[in-house]
Amino acid sequence: MAATRAPTRAAVDLLNTMRSRHGPVAAQFRSLRCCPKLPARSLHSTAACRAIADQKKPEPAGTEDHARPRNARTAPLGLLVGSGLVSGLLASFFALSQPAAEANGDAAPPQTHTTPAPTAGDSRDPSLPRFRLADVRKHGAASAQPWVTYEDKVYDITEWVGAHPGGDVILRAAGGSIEPYWNIFSIHKAPHVREILDQYLIGYIDAADLLRREHEAIEDPFVADPERDARLVSHTARPRNAEPPTDELTRAFHTPNSLFYVRNHMWVPVVGEGAEGDEHAVTVELPDGETRRYTLGELKARFPTHRITAALQCSGNRRSDMTKQATKTNGLQWGVGAISNAEWEGVRLADVLADAGLRVADAQAATAVAKPPPPPPPPPDDDYDDDDDAPPPASSLHVQFSGLEAYGASIPLETALDPRGDVLLAFGMNGAPLPRDHGFPLRAIVPGHVAARSVKWLSKIAVADEESHSQWQRRDYKGFGPNEGASPDWDRAKAIQEMPVTSAITGVWVGRGADKAAPGPSSPTGSNGGAGAQPVTLEGYAYSGGGRAIARVDVSLDGGKSWDQAALVDDCASGKCPGNRAWAWTRWRYSGRLPPAEAVTTTTEPDTNAGGNKACTTLVVKATDDAYNAQPETHASVYNVRGNLATAWHRVRLCRLSAGAVEWETDGCGFVNGSRKRGAEGQEKEKGSK
């Protein structure tokens, strides 16, 4: 394990420099970005970069080609971007930890060297060459063929640079080991990331260099991360990604701040609290290139404060369900808890944009944005075109958000200016300042949309003629067809914005205690079962994006053969949910009776733990919103390799042992496989967990 140290001021400066690559620019200019195929530190238009990236890179003359018969193809982009973490973390942290190669005109010529043969006692694949570390160092950032090492292997990442969403920033690791970075960014230990790297394997480190190999000391950006609630179910530690335990998820309408699901792509920025936090500034850039800077204190003092109750949901919520029900997906294997509900406090983005001087031509937008007085008539000039000063239509523009840690995303300007859209620059959550994990001191809240657009630790807002160039906007958080596989057309697919309708079961009670288990119906409401059938109570949530309210929640206790309707909990009665639309989740309750064990709707399966058989049934929930959008029946119909928008009917299997004491077992997304509860007539809750 590499030695670590806290980030230095120089590292922070480097990060700020890197972050500017993802920041927006004035709309009248083409966005510029580092182009990996051109000389170091050159800036070129996006179109130029794409054209160059599409060209096949010729093999340098006179360079020894260490054949890569099974690795010569480019990695599938679907695997390459993973959850957006792979590219983002490598890109940002490499920029933070190692200086870039100095520009010196053309890239350094390819290096030539001899390849040692395997030595006695080296049992590794003899068909692959061995390389000395001195030779690897020759293939640094300035080389035409950059290499990296991991464990005892050598990889040529030349082709990866062109396909890598983070561009040439990955070259900062070239010529050395990638291992120290992966030891800190634990997400890279995922099997699919190794699959990406293995496609570029060209050989092994020579045995002579394996005896005493030291890694460089690198800075650990996670040392200042906040402490988290021990109840959170963690999927990755660095960066932290965690969800609340299922049985805690819908216990309250407003998710406690400490249990709100955590979705971080990198480390949590450090910003001082109190007066120092109020000095945090966000820069607003308009299409004409004009900028305006606002401190948090100024936002609080100058603009009206608004509150909304809104759920935020990750696009990968219930991804593990899609993996189990369909096939392998790439990304964090969330249960049912990558969604939470809170009351947010802040100022309207539309008000801030108007104050900064934004002018748009759309009549609808004019209701949200006050225009300045019209300019004086132009001077008589035959070459004058009065269209030059005409404000652009809002429909052609985007609002780009950039965070302190380099994350970026964007939304259509029409969304930001919608008078009923409630897009906020938020500084409060459930009556308290934003917690650090959730964007302190300032974040965007775009209700009804995928949470990836509600950028945390907000530092810059720009109105531009195109979407953010962040890889999280261009190469992640998109949906594809079941047939598109690991190499989809990212440019063709639209970025996810409004979320589809979904629902989930978060709690199950069986037996005498079911009637008293939770608020809501106190007696069975369904026709399932018969005399002597066990009572059961279910609870959960339903949610739809775009401000669409939940119209109905359907529940089945027999795998979908018969249905009944759940009771919707009216948490928003008497104006308790501020906001112009239905942004919050809806909690639901249902009481019914399980089908008897001998009914055809149940299944009988071997019980290997207790001996004998267990009688099982499947509990199912599905929701419909007020636009009559409904959930798909299966994940196979909406399968995509990224595992986004896993919104099929939620199923939980419930089993009772047919012999011995009363014992119930639950199995399904959000529930421990084979978890068991033993109690008086099954009165205890079947607790969900991941």
Q: Examine the domain organization and report whether 270 and 344 are in the same domain.
A: yes
Co-location of 165 and 247 in the same domain: no
Catalytic (active site) residue 477: yes
Predicted local confidence at residue 109, as pLDDT: 55
Q: What is the pTM of this model?
A: 0.75
What was the pLDDT predicted at 388? 56
Confidence of residue 231 (pLDDT cuts 50, 70, 90): very high
CATH number where 112 lies: 3.10.120.10
Helices (H), strands (E): how many in the chain? 16, 34
Point out the least confidently predicted range of 140-149, 513-522, 552-561, 622-631.
513-522
13 within some domain:
no
Q: Residue 353 falls within a domain, yes or no? A: yes
- What pLDDT band is residue 654 in, cutting at 50, 70 and 90? very high
Domain boundary among 474, 491, 523: 474
526 pLDDT higher than 90:
no
Say if residues 290 and 357 touch (Cβ distance below 8 Å): yes
pLDDT value at position 12? 43
Active site residue 164: yes
| Best-predicted range by mean pLDDT (30-44, 332-346, 587-601) | 332-346
Q: Is residue 364 very low, low, confident or very high in pLDDT (cuts 50, 70, 90)? A: low
- Residue 21: pLDDT band with limits 50, 70, 90: very low
Q: Please tell me the predicted confidence (pLDDT) of residue 452.
A: 98
Q: What is the dihedral of CA 6, 12, 15, 19, to 10 degrees?
A: 130
**CATH no. for residue 671?**
2.60.40.650
- Does 363 share its domain with 252? yes
- Specify if 384 maps to a domain: no
The catalytic residue among 139, 164, 306, 453 is 164
* Domain co-membership, 98 together with 164: yes
Tokens of 673: 């496989």
To the query of whether residue 188 is one of the catalytic residues in this protein, the response is yes
Q: Is 407 among the domain residues? A: yes
Residues 620 and 672 in one domain: yes
Question: Tens of pLDDT along 388-442?
Answer: 566 777 788 999 999 998 899 999 999 999 999 999 999 999 999 999 999 999 9
Between 115 and 201, name the one with better pLDDT: 201
Task: Indicate if 629 and 603 belong to the same structural domain.
Answer: yes
pLDDT score of 160: 75
Question: Is residue 490 within a helix (H) or strand (E), and if so which, with residue range?
Answer: none
Q: How confident is the model at residue 110 (pLDDT cuts 50, 70, 90)?
A: low
Instruction: From residue 124, give the alpha-carbon distance in Å to each of 199, 203, 205, 207.
Output: 17, 10, 10, 10
Same domain, 113 and 256: no
Could you say which of 162, 195, 219 is where a domain stops?
A: 219
In a domain, 270, yes or no: yes
What residues make up the domain containing 324? Answer: 233-372+391-474
Q: What is the pLDDT of residue 163?
A: 57
What residues contact 211, with CB distance under 8 A and at least 6 apart?
none
Which residue in the list 21, 68, 172, 263 is annotated as catalytic?
263
Q: Does 320 lie in the same domain as 458?
A: yes
Using pLDDT thresholds of 50, 70 and 90, give the confidence band for residue 511: confident
With 0-12 CB in 10 A as exposed, 13-18 as middle and 19+ as buried, what is 110? middle
Q: Are residues 348 and 466 in the same domain?
A: yes
What pLDDT is recorded for position 46?
A: 36
User: Radius of gyration of the chain from Cα atoms?
Assistant: 28
Is the torsion defined by CA of 45, 11, 141, 491 positive or negative?
negative
Give the domain-ending residue among 187, 219, 251: 219
Whether 53 and 101 share a structural domain: yes
Worst-scoring range by mean pLDDT, 34-43, 135-144, 364-373, 562-571?
34-43
418 and 561 in a single domain? The answer is no
Residue 284 one-letter amino acid: V
pLDDT at 628 over 90: yes
**Which member of 19, 33, 130, 188 is catalytic?**
188
465 pLDDT exceeds 90?
A: yes
Q: Which residue has the higher pLDDT, 151 or 349?
A: 349
Do 198 and 278 sit in the same domain of this protein? Answer: no
Q: Quick check: is 365 in a domain?
A: yes
Per-residue confidence band for 643, with pLDDT thresholds at 50, 70 and 90: very high
Q: How confident is the model at residue 259 (pLDDT cuts 50, 70, 90)?
A: very high
Residue 489 in domain = no
Q: 439 — alpha (psi -120 to 50), left (phi > 0) or beta?
A: left
Q: From start to end of 567-662, where are the E strands? A: 567-568, 586-593, 603-606, 613-625, 650-657
Lowest-confidence segment of 189-198, 215-224, 671-680 by average pLDDT: 671-680
Query: In this predicted model, what pLDDT tens digit does every residue of 278-294 receive, in sequence order?
Result: 999 999 999 999 999 99
Catalytic residue among 200, 261, 294, 477: 477
Percent of the chain clearing pLDDT 70 (strictly above): 66
Catalytic residue among 34, 35, 49, 314: 314
204 part of the active site: no
Is residue 381 domain-resident? Answer: no
What mean pLDDT do residues 115-136 have?
87
User: Which amino acid, one-letter code, is at 172?
Assistant: R
pLDDT of 26 strictly over 50: no
The answer to whether residue 267 scores a pLDDT higher than 60 is: yes
**Average pLDDT score, the chain:** 78
Domains contained in the chain, number: 3
Decide if 200 is catalytic: no
